[in-house]
Structure formats: structure tokens, C-alpha cells
Structure 1
Amino acid sequence: MLTLVALVEYASGAEAAGQRYEDAVLAFLGRHGGQLERRLRGTDGQTEVHVIRFDARAGYESFLVDPERAALRAALGETAPTTRVIEVHEV
């Protein structure tokens, strides 16, 4: 089991496009053995926090190279969200 926290930041002026992108790619998690446990949006509307679990690290790695995800990201170009991913565990 792999648990990740993703801090997603939307480009200024491209928040709606970024949110649509996240809606789309988060729907791909299941095909890679992943599950979105929590999705929280900052009050500024420019930041989200996702808690995601994968059955195995291989699922996360396959999610990262998913061709549909890559195509959606490429379509956004420089307005694509930036994401910092942190591997976490329960304490």
C-alpha cells in the first residue's frame, strides 16, 4: 500500500481549467489501483490537497505515465497545475 499527499497549485487565471483537468485525471486512478481518499480545496481557490492510496508503487508509476493523463496535461501547456507529491504514512 502506498499513500500520497498531493499539493496541487493552479496557475493564476487558469483555476477552472486546472480543476477540470484534476477532475478528469483523478477519475483515472482506479485503472491503476489507486483511490482518492480526500480532496480538499483551499479557500483561495488556487490550491487543492489530495490524499491518494495505491495498492502498490507500480500503480502510481503507471498512473504517472498514463497516455490519456499526459495528453490532457499537454493540452493545458504552461497553464497546467503544478503538483508536489509527498509519500506519507500513519503515525
Structure 2
Amino acid sequence: MPVTFALIARIPAEGVADFRAYEDAVLPLLPEFNGSLERRLRNSDGTIEMHIVSFASEADFLNYRNDPRRTAQASLLEKSSATLELLPMANV
């Protein structure tokens, strides 16, 4: 069963470069886990970003989250001081 998430990231101005470096490293992994970045939105100064991401299954999502190449980039995310809100969503 497919799953869809909305991710809202709030990034301090001084963390934008680290957040973008993290995203550049982990977003290309999505297709390997039957994932798709359906939409990516960003405000004008880069301090708020929203993603709509879908996976073919919950297992694919969990495999993506636990992939060592992704977790190896966690220090960039932490350094960015971004706060993330991950919301499970459904098509209506």
C-alpha cells in the first residue's frame, strides 16, 4: 500500500547551506526505495522548505530512512539545526 508524507523543514538562516547539502546527498536515493519527491517548495530566503514524498510501501519508506548512505549524512542535518515535521497524508 503506497504511503505519502508532507515534510515541513524550518531552517535557521545560518543552517541553509548545510540543509541543502544534506538534501543533495539524500534525495537522489529516493528512487532506489520506490520513493518519489512529488513536490518541493521553498520560501524566498530558504528557511522553510516543504516536500511531498511518496513511497510504494511503508517498508520502502523505512528502508530509505535506515539506509546507511542516508544516515551517514545525519551530521549535516544536525549541523543545519533544522526542525522537521513529518506528516503522513492521504489522497482525497
- Give structure 2 stretches of 5+ with no counterpart: none
Report the identity percentage. 32
Amino acid at match of 1:45: G
- How far is 1:76 from its partner? 5.0
1:90 aligns with 2:72: no
Tell me how far apart the structure 2 counterparts of residues 22 and 30 of structure 1 sit (CA, whole Å): 14
SS in 1 for 2:14: coil
Q: 1:60 corresponds to which residue? A: 61
Q: 2:49 corresponds to which residue? A: 48
Q: 1:17 corresponds to which residue? A: 18
Q: TM-score, structure 1 length as denominator?
A: 0.87
What RMSD in Å do the two structures reach over aligned CA positions?
Answer: 1.6
Q: TM-score, structure 2 length as denominator?
A: 0.86
Q: 1:75 to 1:18 in 2, by over 3 A?
A: closer
1:34 aligns with 2:35: yes
Q: Does the 8 Å CA contact 1:9/1:46 hold for their aligned counterparts?
A: yes
Q: 1:63 to 1:28 in 2, by over 3 A?
A: same
- Give structure 1 stretches of 5+ with no counterpart: none
Q: Deviating runs (4+, > 4 A) in structure 1?
A: none
- How far is 1:75 from its partner? 4.7
Tell me how far apart the structure 2 counterparts of residues 19 and 59 of structure 1 sit (CA, whole Å): 23
